[in-house]
Structure 1
Amino acid sequence: MTAISETGADRRRGSRHIWFLNGGFDRIGMDTAFQRVTERPADKSFEFVVTPNVDHLVRIARGNPREAVLYAQAWLTVCDSRILELIAKISGEKVDVTPGSDLTERLFADAIDPDEPVVVIGGTQSVIEAIEKRYGLTDLRWHDAPMGLKKNPLAVQDCAEFVFRNPSRFVFLCVGSPQQEMVAQAIRDRRDCTGIGFCVGASLDFLAGKVSRAPRWMQKARLEWLHRLASEPKRMWRRYLVEGPKVLLLWLEWRRNRRQLDRLARDLNQSFASS
């Protein structure tokens, strides 16, 4: 089997990487993503996986360079949104979907040994207890991160210190975006931690039954956002009804830029042909 490069620079030069709208994605689906993370040696230096969706790309578009850098440093970037998949398809691009919640569920079901250490940053005690019971885990190590991590660099460093003191193959970062990506970067920047971090938001809430996922038919119909809006209207209305539609503006800008690049390429080819 051909070895897979571990460096972001090598990965992004390869054909499996695509830049769409204002986000970069690895051109791989669920099976390959699962293979990559499970076959990576546990003692390798810490790297992290991000799962951008519409909300993330809209936030990046607001012009916060720090958030863009957080995603650019990820070891693996997979698309969390079937809406983005659809927009890409309409645009003649192929963006594979690997929802963070699905990847998390598969790791707990098929990859994690019940007796191996597993680290979770964020969540609640009831979620942790439910996860332990569901999967029979005997060594789940939980850090109850405080609210407001985005404005609390000391608390972010405390999260990184916890990961250092509790080595594990998999680290699940469940403190919301961009806090979880900030924590992942802080862990990576230490250079003394190992394993893989997964920035997967509310994934453990789903597995614990605290929040219900949309039925499979709604997921396949790209209506999971509607289910979440109906389930948590007070918390989700702004994300899905105000911020989410702004992705259409990103798409229009992307199409305009691509047309300009296509025209430039044609003009250059004509110039070379006539010279």
Structure 2
Amino acid sequence: MPTVAETAPTCIVRGLSFDALAQALARGRTSIFTLNLMHLRLLAQNPEFRESYREASIVTLDSNWLNTCFLRRRMTVAAGSDFVHFLGSRGALRDKSVLVVGNVTPADAARVMASRRLDVVRPPFGFIRDPAAVEDVIARCRALEPEVIFIAVGAPQSEMLALRMRRAGLAEASILCCGAAFEFELGVQRRSPVFLRRTGLEWVWRLATNPRRLAGRYASDAGFVLARLGQFAGLARSGRLRVGGLHLQFRQEAGLEEASVG
């Protein structure tokens, strides 16, 4: 008889190109999450966040550090900020109606993302803990009927909101949870030099430029890894990691045809 560990749900973390991800986003009915180290910690702690990952259409890897240290650089890293830049610079959504949920003005959002129609919903701080505020955000999204939704309110709020949107019947739009991507594109926050990103050291830059906000987060992330160092060491061999009852499988893929979309 299978054990609980053997029957735990599985989430595939996919190595996909930006072109493949853009195709999936434009197709509709797709939720794209970008996994980083903080997300791994939240998966171990937050049941609703874990459920949101179980129901996501596509999960990509958003951590050069994980890729460098534990995955032998075999994965394509698709950071949310880089993907938003790719979509904007290519005009990939210029024929779509787009909605941005986050702390950005319509004019600034339009500077980042060309679209057929662009709307912005700016939820109040801490809205995810207020059922009425969440329902208001969902109702406004439903009324606007966008084809693509960018949720830019940070983890775990973005992913939890995506889950609640789907459960409220918002099925047709594609959703990308993209954290601070719009702030990076607008220059509100500064990205690290490219060589630091590629070597997995972007966290050093971010900590040095914003220590008050990030020191606690990075300390928690480091503690999470140290407590599970044996599991992380095995990740390079197996491509698998078990976090909070969820089995993660890291898999490089050639194209969209191998991804589960829907």
Q: Same fold (TM over 0.5)?
A: yes
Once residues 135 and 254 of structure 1 are traced to their aligned partners in structure 2, the CA distance between those partners, rounded to angstroms, is 37
Runs of 4+ residues over 6 Å off in structure 1: 256-259
Once residues 28 and 137 of structure 1 are traced to their aligned partners in structure 2, the CA distance between those partners, rounded to angstroms, is 24
Q: 1:61 — aligned with what?
A: 44
Q: 2:165 — aligned with what?
A: 187
Change (3 A) 1:51 1:135: closer
User: Contact 2:71–2:236 at 8 Å: present in 1 too?
Assistant: no
Structure 1 letter corresponding to 2:14: D
Once residues 31 and 113 of structure 2 are traced to their aligned partners in structure 1, the CA distance between those partners, rounded to angstroms, is 23
Q: 2:66 — aligned with what?
A: 84
Query: How far apart are 1:84 and its partner, in Å?
Result: 1.4
Q: 1:201 aligns with which of 179, 182, 190?
A: 179
Unmatched runs of 5 consecutive residues or more in structure 2: 1-9, 238-262
Once residues 61 and 206 of structure 1 are traced to their aligned partners in structure 2, the CA distance between those partners, rounded to angstroms, is 28
Q: 1:33 — aligned with what?
A: 21
User: Contact 1:88–1:94 at 8 Å: present in 2 too?
Assistant: no
Write the mapping of 1:122-133 to structure 2, written as runs, cut at 5 A.
122-125=102-105, 128-133=106-111
1:124-164 deviation line (CA, Å, top 9, x unaligned): 33xx4323235566732111101112311221222222221
Q: SS of 1:98's equivalent?
A: coil
Once residues 75 and 226 of structure 2 are traced to their aligned partners in structure 1, the CA distance between those partners, rounded to angstroms, is 17
Q: SS of 2:61's equivalent?
A: coil
Number of matched pairs:
228
Q: 1:172 aligns with which of 150, 160, 185?
A: 150
Could you say what the CA RMSD is over the residues aligned between the two structures, in angstroms? 2.7
Query: How far apart are 1:59 and its partner, in Å?
Result: 2.0
User: Contact 2:138–2:165 at 8 Å: present in 1 too?
Assistant: yes
Query: How far apart are 1:223 and its partner, in Å?
Result: 1.4
Fraction of identical pairs, as percent: 27
User: Contact 1:172–1:197 at 8 Å: present in 2 too?
Assistant: yes
Q: 1:49 aligns with which of 11, 26, 32?
A: 32
1:25-65 deviation line (CA, Å, top 9, x unaligned): 12423332233223x1x4xxx44111110011012223x32
Q: SS of 1:147's equivalent?
A: coil
Q: 2:99 — aligned with what?
A: 119
User: Contact 2:93–2:113 at 8 Å: present in 1 too?
Assistant: no
Q: SS of 2:48's equivalent?
A: helix
Unmatched runs of 5 consecutive residues or more in structure 1: 1-18, 260-275
Q: SS of 1:177's equivalent?
A: coil
Once residues 159 and 221 of structure 1 are traced to their aligned partners in structure 2, the CA distance between those partners, rounded to angstroms, is 38
Once residues 163 and 143 of structure 2 are traced to their aligned partners in structure 1, the CA distance between those partners, rounded to angstroms, is 17
Once residues 100 and 106 of structure 1 are traced to their aligned partners in structure 2, the CA distance between those partners, rounded to angstroms, is 10
Structure 1 letter corresponding to 2:39: H
Write the mapping of 1:70-109 to structure 2, written as runs, cut at 5 A.
70-90=52-72, 94-109=74-89
Once residues 166 and 109 of structure 1 are traced to their aligned partners in structure 2, the CA distance between those partners, rounded to angstroms, is 25
Which one scores higher on RCO, CA 8 angstroms, separation ≥ 6? 2
Q: 2:7 — aligned with what?
A: none
Once residues 235 and 149 of structure 2 are traced to their aligned partners in structure 1, the CA distance between those partners, rounded to angstroms, is 38
More strand by share: 2
Once residues 155 and 133 of structure 2 are traced to their aligned partners in structure 1, the CA distance between those partners, rounded to angstroms, is 15
More helix by share: 1
User: Contact 2:87–2:113 at 8 Å: present in 1 too?
Assistant: no
Please report the TM-score for the alignment, with normalisation by the length of structure 2.
Answer: 0.77
Query: How far apart are 1:247 and its partner, in Å?
Result: 2.0
Which of these two proteins has the greater Rg computed from alpha carbons?
Answer: 1
Q: SS of 1:227's equivalent?
A: helix
